[in-house]
Amino acid sequence: MTGKKMKVATIQMVSGIDVSTNIDDMQTLVHKAAQAGAKWIVLPEYWPLMGSSDRDKLAIAEEFGQGPLQNALQQLAKALHITLFGGSIPLRGNDENKVLNSMLVYGEQGELLSRYDKIHLFSYSGVGEQYCEADSIQAGYQVPHLEIDGIKVGQGICYDLRFPELFRAQTPYDVLVLPAAFTYTTGKAHWELLLRARAVENQCYVIAAAQGGRHQNGRTTFGQSMIIDPWGEIICGVGEGEGFAVAEINFRRLADVRRQLPALSHRQLFIRS
């Protein structure tokens, strides 16, 4: 894998309140990224719906393994012969009043490669805005582990980004995938800072796909989807609004960073007695 190169893409959306429109927009952007040569494509969190109410997602929640959202992702991956990281969609859990916020990963034949249910649930109270995902989302609990064609993949969703222990629990991996819908307030302050920190401390590529703009429901998300190299340098990205960015990730570059600064092999675990 040392000399391998691969094109990847991050998709940025400004999802609205109509699911069918969001599906169409998602498919258009994924087609364009695939035409640009991307073999791995990452969608943002909440791409199917940014509803008028946080509870709107309950109405479109699907049973795991069936439903129009899962079908759309599966068929797209197979048709374009890509690996598609499905941002997040709402899946039914064991609490009928809540959903799981889940990233499904589909391979080039449309096969399901991975499922990750978001563990950390966002809560924020600021001037004129308040969020509490736990009101409508059930937290996941399983740390994801995924390997595709010899490439080890770390995963998280949005607020997970603030908890480095989740990503340390998955190491070592070569690429970290993170769909998100950061608020404008928290994104402006911390989004790039946290993403680059995760890239540097885990010496990995980061593909971060965000919601980015003013939504029909009145919410504003920060955007700034980006692809970052293992040295913490931003390779490319999308600013505000709908779009995509494609970059080539170079696994020789990854190996060189880890050889020159072997920080992962220097890790020590201290437990307070």
Would you state the pLDDT for residue 269? 78
Note if 118 is an active site residue: yes
| H or E stretch covering 234 | strand 234-237
pLDDT for 256: 97
pLDDT of residue 255 exceeding 90: yes
Instruction: Evaluate if residue 3 carries a pLDDT over 70.
Output: no
Each residue of 157-180: pLDDT tens digit? 999 999 999 999 999 999 999 999
Range 229-241 average pLDDT: 98
Q: Of all residues in the chain, what percent carry a pLDDT higher than 90?
A: 92
Q: What is the pLDDT of residue 238?
A: 98
Check residue 1 and give its pLDDT: 63
Q: Is the per-residue pLDDT at 130 higher than 90?
A: no
What's the whole-model pTM score? 0.96
Catalytic residue among 57, 62, 98, 158: 158
DSSP state of 232: S
152 is catalytic: no
Confidence bin at 202 (pLDDT 50/70/90): very high
State the average pLDDT over residues 94-104. 97
**Average model confidence (pLDDT) across the chain:** 96
User: Which one of 98, 118, 133, 204 is the catalytic residue?
Assistant: 118
The ranges assigned to domains in the chain are: 5-262
| The Cα angle at residue 154 between residues 44 and 93, in degrees rounded to 5 | 60
- Among the ranges given (117-131, 133-147, 231-245), the one the predictor scored with the smallest mean pLDDT: 117-131
pLDDT in the model for residue 272: 72
Mean pLDDT, rounded, for 90-98: 96
Q: What percent of the chain has pLDDT over 70?
A: 98
pLDDT of residue 2 exceeding 70, the answer is no
The one catalytic residue among 45, 62, 133, 204:
45
What are the residue ranges of helices labelled H in the chain? Answer: 19-35, 57-60, 68-80, 164-168, 184-186, 192-202, 251-260
Q: Give the residues across from 209 on adjacent strands.
A: 179
Q: How confident is the model at residue 236 (pLDDT cuts 50, 70, 90)?
A: very high
Residue 128 has a pLDDT of 74
Letter string b/e over residues 42-51, b meaning 16 or more CB atoms within 10 A of that residue's CB:
bbbbbbbbbb
Q: Determine whether 240 is an active site residue.
A: no
Torsion of CA 100, 23, 227, 84, to 10 degrees: 70
- CATH number at 5-262: 3.60.110.10
Residue 251, token pair as written in the block: 């696994």
Residues 72, 27 contacting (CB under 8 angstroms): yes
pLDDT at 129: 78
- Encode pLDDT of 25-57 as tens digits: 999 999 999 999 999 999 999 999 999 988 899
Element (H, E) at 101: strand 99-106
Measured between alpha carbons, how far is 10 from 270 in angstroms, rounded to an integer?
36
What is the band of 239 on the pLDDT scale with cuts at 50, 70, 90? Answer: very high
